[in-house]
């Protein structure tokens, strides 16, 4: 191998594809009929979605008594799933906003897809607090609206902050996504021959005409939105962690929670994005747009955040010991060696040990191995939330009220179903919208920008 | 062709370097109304076109700050003014706890406003009837070409000059662009019958659905399960207990609070000796005593205890409560009268709890003191 030439920026899009080819390649899934593999995948996710419908139906009809939640463990699978899915949603905005501010060009190939995943993940997540309240048809009480009780919501409660954080996050992500899509809708409008499609694309492109007087404002707005989304994405998981940290339960009541949750969210989000992208680039032949270099960079971020999470696990134990608080100490020893030790050690192996493999370049660049590692990370991050939520509640201050939590079949149906919900949206997305931002990718192809910089 | 109005003259270039040069030259020639259309933003184009920096940032700033202020004021009004409730010992207006919501509202309002302002104020979108729409020119610049167009209403516009200028810049294609006559002549009517019909249908469906949900659906199974729960009513047959009684007798050997059996039946004097008033005189006990006295005693004894009440004549007049005898009675002795009754006066032990009886007695003492005030009581 020749020495790396640092005088030249390495291109983020491999080869030097003609711009028109890029358009055609990205639009192809939209123009072609779904093939067999797609239909098989869709029927699997729809089947899982069926579990969701049945599980939720049972829950709505008979009430949340169908779940395994018991007296000390009032928060269980529903909140675990909520935190898990919100966490998944964090990678998208991180890629599209934070990496944008850091001028990381490799993000262009994956940003659109990751943002889409953010939206679907937050949608999935938002369902869980809704069903957790039991009477899901009365969610309006979460909002401060004038009502016949003349009561207002409690603005000092982290659960209310959560309502604001998650709904803001969803709205801003959606806007961000749509703004990014406008030029692509215009490209689709110009390309398509089909009348109905043309009408739809015309409506959504709003009449975009690639004017540079517009691009100028557009780039400014993108920058502003990225600037807003960056603290927003950090605030969302911080506030989710407040749901726990602001309470007084041992195992929850710690100040390390906000950074630890944010790191964990990015960690799991990147694992999920990486998993899905590996499949997408294979199916749609995007290997030169979503390059191996990009995947390697994602693996590096996973290594970083995975190590942060591992540090947080260690620090929690240290603080429990250092605080001298016997109840706190008991909680952590109980986590590692108590009735839920199995969950704790699954979490530790998946989250702390497995990403350390990414220290090796060979593994970082081997698609099958990185795929498996990312699956492990996803499993581990789900168990992390399980460990935090369930072990702390099951064995709290009063030994007389301790109880072991066992999920029921309805819990599992909803868990599996949430994956079905999420992946159904992902599949439909790949067929309905360009999964790579055409305008952005074209701008970073070699030779797409003027060669002389005389300003 | 000749009856079409000219919109501008366009040129297509193949390379990003060329379009930058073209834009620069056009700007230097003093054209004001021209535009550059490229499939993606080109670095350095803002300088070439001499565009002023975007002002959208100010919109974010202003709306964001107003959003923050509005959030603070709303929360302050709701939790400190309109319905103050103490949560966790915090002040009604506890600003640190409001920071998360203020932040979220700021971000939300600023993001929405910035995007809406860009699309609808700065760009005047949606605009699918723009003369460029549907042209070959737009098709090319959407994909991989770079276009520039000088508008016909520019002061310096002269078709031949513009053509020559573009040719000297090595444009690969030249094309005039016209307004679409259909678009110009088309009148946009808001009150089209179809649209009105659509609105009416939406309104009917919507109000029907809302009516159904809130007045019917929420009272159906399973939504009504919270409202209509199984429970035991007084005097109802019980399905749980084997003897079928819904009301249960207390467990043997236990006494409910406040229901100690009265030990002095028939011995009012003994009661006067033994019983001690456990309720200290206080504003709240006197208030309770007054309320109960006015309700239960005043019909016969009068509001002031004189015995000349509104039942006067329909029932044997009770003696005054201000008599020498009564003033010397102990509290316990009066308690015995209220509990047992005395001659024609009935017992009030079921209407008044023990504590209430003592409170009434405290109040009677106040009445007595008021009627027979000493010199020293007057200030």
Residue-range definition of the domain harbouring residue B359: 268-374
- The predicted model gives B272-278 an average pLDDT of 87
- What are the per-10-residue average pLDDT scores of chain A (455 residues)? 52 74 84 86 94 93 90 92 93 84 84 91 93 84 87 91 94 93 92 89 91 91 92 93 92 92 92 91 84 91 94 93 92 93 94 94 92 95 94 90 93 95 93 89 83 56
Residues in chain A with CB shorter than 8 Å from the CB of B114 are 221, 224-225
Nearest Cα to Cα of residue B13 among B106, B127, B145: B145
Compute the nearest-CA separation of B45 from chain A (Å): 8
Q: What is the ipTM of this complex?
A: 0.92
Q: What is the pLDDT of residue A92?
A: 84
Per-residue pLDDT band at B374 (split at 50, 70, 90):
confident
Give a yes or no: residue B272 inside a domain: yes
Q: Which A-chain residues 140-199 have CB contacts (< 8 A) with chain B?
A: 144, 150-152, 154-158, 160-161, 164-165, 168, 171-172, 175-176, 179, 183, 186-187, 190-191
For residue B300, the domain's CATH number is 1.10.760.10
Please, are residues B131 and A211 in contact by the beta-carbon 8 Å criterion? no
Residues B169, B285: one domain? Answer: no
The reply to whether residue B107 touches residue A23, judged by beta carbons under 8 angstroms, is no
Q: List the 311-370 stretch of B: residues with Cβ below 8 A of A.
A: none
CA–CA gap between residue B69 and residue B63 (Å, rounded): 10
Q: Does B132 touch chain A (CB under 8 A)?
A: yes
Share of chain B above pLDDT 70, in %: 98
Based on the fold, state whether residues B123 and B230 are members of the same structural domain. Answer: no
Confidence grade of residue B74 (pLDDT, cut at 50, 70, 90): very high
pLDDT of A108 reads 85
Please report whether residue B79 resides in a domain: yes
Q: What is the pLDDT of residue B6?
A: 87
Question: Last residue of a domain, which of B136, B170, B186?
Answer: B186
User: Quick check: is B212 in a domain?
Assistant: yes
Looking at the structure, tell me whether residues B151 and B213 fall in a common domain: no
Q: Which pLDDT score, from 0 to 100, does residue A454 have?
A: 47
Instruction: Let me know if residue B1 belongs to a domain.
Output: yes
How many folded domains does chain B comprise?
3
State the pLDDT at residue A122.
Answer: 94
Interface check B184 vs A, CB under 8 A: no
Q: Residue B160 falls within a domain, yes or no?
A: yes
pLDDT of residue A363: 92
pLDDT tens digits, B203-230: 999 999 999 998 999 888 888 887 888 8
Q: What is the pLDDT of residue A6?
A: 55
pLDDT at B3 over 80: no
For B298-349, the pLDDT digits (tens) are: 988 989 888 888 887 788 888 888 888 988 899 999 999 999 899 889 999 8
**Nearest of A223, A231, A455 to residue B54 by alpha carbon:** A223
Distance, CA of B90 to CA of A157 (rounded, Å):
11
Q: Nearest-CA residue of chain B relative to A18?
A: B144
Confirm whether B257 is domain-assigned: no
Would you state the pLDDT for residue A452?
59
* Pair (B230, B343) in one structural domain: no
Tell me, yes or no, whether B366 and B302 share the same domain.
yes
Closest to A79 measured CA to CA, from A385, A359, A365: A385
Residues of chain B found within 8 Å of residue A452, distances taken between Cβ atoms = 17
Q: pTM for this one? A: 0.79
pLDDT in tens, B127-153: 888 888 888 888 888 888 899 999 988
The answer on B195 and B133 residing in a single domain is no
Residue B1 has pLDDT above 70, yes or no: no
Same domain membership, residue B11 and residue B157 = yes
The reply to whether B59 and B155 lie within a common domain is: yes
Distances (CA, A) of B97 to A254, B71, B94, B106: 17, 13, 6, 16
| Nearest residue, CB atoms, B43 vs list A150, A191, A450 | A450
Closest CA to B106 of B69, B67, B57: B67
Shared domain check, B303 and B216: no
Residues B220 and B322 in one domain: no
- Residues paired with residue B9 on neighbouring β-strands, in sequence order: B150, B176
Is residue B261 assigned to a domain? no
């Amino acid at each position: 191998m020749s020495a790396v030439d640092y005088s030249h920026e390495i291109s983020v899009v491999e080869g030097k594809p003609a711009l028109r080819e890029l358009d055609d390649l990205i639009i192809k899934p939209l123009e072609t009929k779904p093939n067999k593999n797609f239909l098989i995948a869709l029927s699997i996710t729809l089947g899982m979605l069926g579990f969701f419908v049945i599980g939720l139906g049972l829950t709505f009809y008979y009430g949340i008594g169908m779940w395994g939640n018991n007296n000390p463990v009032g928060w269980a699978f529903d909140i675990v799933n909520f935190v898990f899915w919100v966490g998944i949603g964090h990678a998208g905005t991180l890629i599209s906003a934070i990496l944008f501010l850091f001028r990381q060009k490799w993000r262009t190939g994956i940003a659109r897809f990751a943002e889409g995943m953010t939206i679907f993940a937050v949608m999935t997540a938002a369902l869980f607090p809704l069903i957790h309240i039991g009477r899901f048809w009365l969610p309006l009480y979460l909002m401060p609206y004038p009502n016949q009780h003349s009561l207002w919501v409690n603005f000092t409660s982290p659960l209310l902050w959560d309502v604001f954080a998650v709904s803001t996050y969803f709205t801003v992500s959606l806007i961000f996504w749509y703004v990014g899509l406008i030029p692509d809708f215009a490209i689709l409008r110009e390309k398509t021959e089909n009348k109905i499609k043309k009408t739809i694309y015309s409506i959504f492109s709003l009449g975009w005409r690639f004017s540079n007087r517009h691009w100028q404002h557009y780039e400014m707005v993108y920058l502003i939105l990225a600037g807003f989304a960056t603290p927003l994405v950090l605030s969302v998981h911080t506030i989710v962690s407040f749901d726990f940290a602001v309470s007084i339960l041992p195992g929850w009541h710690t100040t390390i929670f906000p950074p630890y949750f944010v790191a964990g969210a990015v960690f799991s989000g990147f694992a999920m994005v990486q998993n899905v992208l590996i499949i997408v680039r294979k199916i749609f032949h995007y290997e030169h747009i979503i390059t191996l270099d990009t995947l390697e960079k994602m693996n590096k971020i996973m290594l970083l955040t995975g190590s942060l999470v591992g540090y947080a696990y260690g620090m929690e134990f240290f603080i429990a010991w250092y605080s001298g608080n016997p109840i706190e100490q008991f909680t952590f020893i109980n986590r590692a060696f108590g009735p839920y030790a199995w969950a704790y050690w699954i979490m530790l192996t998946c989250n702390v040990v497995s990403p350390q493999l990414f220290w090796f370049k060979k593994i970082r660049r081997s698609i099958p191995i990185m795929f498996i590692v990312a699956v492990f990370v996803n499993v581990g991050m789900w168990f992390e939330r399980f460990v935090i939520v369930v072990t702390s509640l099951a064995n709290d201050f009063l030994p007389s009220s301790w109880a072991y939590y066992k999920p029921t079949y309805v819990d599992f149906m909803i868990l599996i179903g949430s994956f079905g919900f999420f992946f159904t949206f992902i599949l439909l997305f790949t067929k309905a919208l360009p999964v790579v931002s055409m305008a952005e990718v074209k701008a970073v192809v070699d030779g797409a920008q003027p060669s002389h910089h005389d300003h | 062709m000749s009856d079409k109005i000219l919109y501008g003259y366009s040129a297509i270039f193949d390379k990003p370097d060329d379009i930058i040069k073209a834009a620069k030259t056009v700007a230097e020639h003093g054209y004001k109304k021209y535009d550059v259309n490229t499939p993606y933003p080109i670095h350095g184009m803002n300088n070439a076109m001499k565009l002023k920096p975007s002002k959208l940032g100010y919109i974010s700033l202003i709306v964001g700050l107003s959003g923050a202020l509005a959030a603070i004021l709303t929360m302050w009004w709701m939790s400190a003014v309109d319905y103050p409730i103490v949560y966790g010992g915090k002040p009604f207006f506890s600003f640190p706890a409001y920071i998360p919501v203020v932040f979220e509202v700021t971000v939300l309002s600023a993001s929405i406003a910035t995007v809406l302002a860009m699309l609808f104020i700065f760009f005047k979108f949606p605009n699918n009837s723009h003369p460029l729409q549907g042209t070959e020119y737009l098709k090319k610049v959407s994909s991989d070409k770079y276009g520039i167009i000088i508008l016909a209403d520019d002061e310096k516009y002269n078709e031949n000059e513009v053509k020559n200028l573009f040719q000297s810049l090595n444009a690969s294609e030249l094309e005039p662009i016209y307004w679409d006559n259909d678009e110009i002549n088309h009148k946009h009517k808001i009150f089209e019958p179809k649209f009105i019909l659509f609105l009416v249908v939406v309104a009917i469906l919507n109000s029907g659905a809302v009516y159904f949900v809130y007045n019917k659906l929420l009272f159906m199974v399973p939504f009504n399960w919270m409202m209509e729960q199984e429970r035991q009513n007084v005097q109802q047959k019980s399905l749980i207990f084997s003897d079928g009684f819904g009301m249960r007798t207390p467990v043997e050997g236990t006494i409910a609070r406040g229901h100690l059996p009265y030990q002095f039946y028939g011995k009012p004097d003994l009661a006067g000796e033994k019983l001690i008033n456990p309720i200290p005189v206080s504003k709240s006990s006197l208030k309770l005593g007054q309320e109960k006295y006015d309700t239960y005693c005043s019909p016969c004894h009068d509001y002031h205890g004189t015995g000349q009440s509104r039942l006067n004549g329909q029932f044997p007049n009770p003696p005054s409560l201000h008599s020498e005898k009564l003033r010397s009675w102990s509290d316990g002795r009066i308690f015995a009268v209220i509990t047992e009754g005395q001659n024609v006066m009935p017992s009030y032990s079921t209407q008044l709890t023990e504590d209430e009886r003592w409170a009434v007695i405290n109040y009677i003492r106040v009445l007595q003191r008021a009627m027979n005030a000493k010199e020293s009581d007057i200030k």
